[in-house]
Amino acid sequence: MTEQPAQTQPDQPVAGLDGTVWVADEEGNSITVINAATNQVLTTLTGVEGAHNLQVAPDGKTVWAVSGHDSLAIKIDAVTFEVHGVVPTGMMPAHIVLTPDGKKAYATNGGDNTVTVIDVEAMSAIATIPVGEYPHGLRVSPDGMWVYVANAKSTTLSVIDTAQDVKVADIEVGEHPVQVGFSPDGEFVYFSLNGENALGKVDVAAQELVGKVDVGGGRSQVL
């Protein structure tokens, strides 16, 4: 008989774990913050209507959320849990990401097919970029030069040049891409194809599709 690993009790700290886990409670209109070592809820931040996605800033000092209902990007202190500011976005924001230097944030707006660019220091929107139909997941390249956007009701990934904050390409990839993820060296982008139950791969330098592989049904997230 194989010995089962011991189960850690929720109220006992786990050695080596530190920090917090943040959960977007989309239907509960709230954000839950959990102690990573004890699995205990530290706080529940209420009043964030339709919280769909969260992103930790590169310096770890703040956490960003989007309110799909109120069309807002929200900046929250990672220690005190206080709101440091809100910025209006386009309609029905879904995901938000920050550049590696933490100076800009990008939010996808599924309701009007745009991406909002936010100046983090000024806490203001500085650009609105038209992309494909129903933009959902997006990521910034490791070097900070590009943002790749998955257009969930289309067949494309949109490519944004972060120096000019303009769309420079739409790459045909397949049915209903939902999220993207860069390889650590930034040479490739991988993406989920919800409409094909597949994972695809794009060459960043060439900005073209290089392959797909079949995976399980209902593909959504990619890291």
Q: pLDDT digit string (tens) for 149-199?
A: 999 999 999 999 999 999 999 999 999 999 999 999 999 999 999 998 999
Predicted pLDDT of residue 14: 54
**Cβ pair 108, 117 in contact under 8 A:** no
Confidence of residue 215 (pLDDT cuts 50, 70, 90): confident
Beta strands in the chain (DSSP E): 20-25, 30-35, 41-46, 51-56, 62-67, 72-77, 83-88, 93-98, 104-109, 114-119, 124-130, 135-140, 146-151, 156-161, 166-172, 177-182, 188-193, 198-203, 208-214
Distance of CA 144 to the CA centre of its chain: 15
Q: Tell me which residue of 128, 103, 125, 134 sits closest to 115, measured CA to CA.
A: 128
Quickly count: other Cβ atoms within 10 Å of residue 75's Cβ: 21
Q: pTM for the whole thing?
A: 0.89
Mean pLDDT, the chain, rounded, equals 91
Q: What is the pLDDT of residues 72-91, one digit of tens each?
A: 999 999 999 999 999 999 99
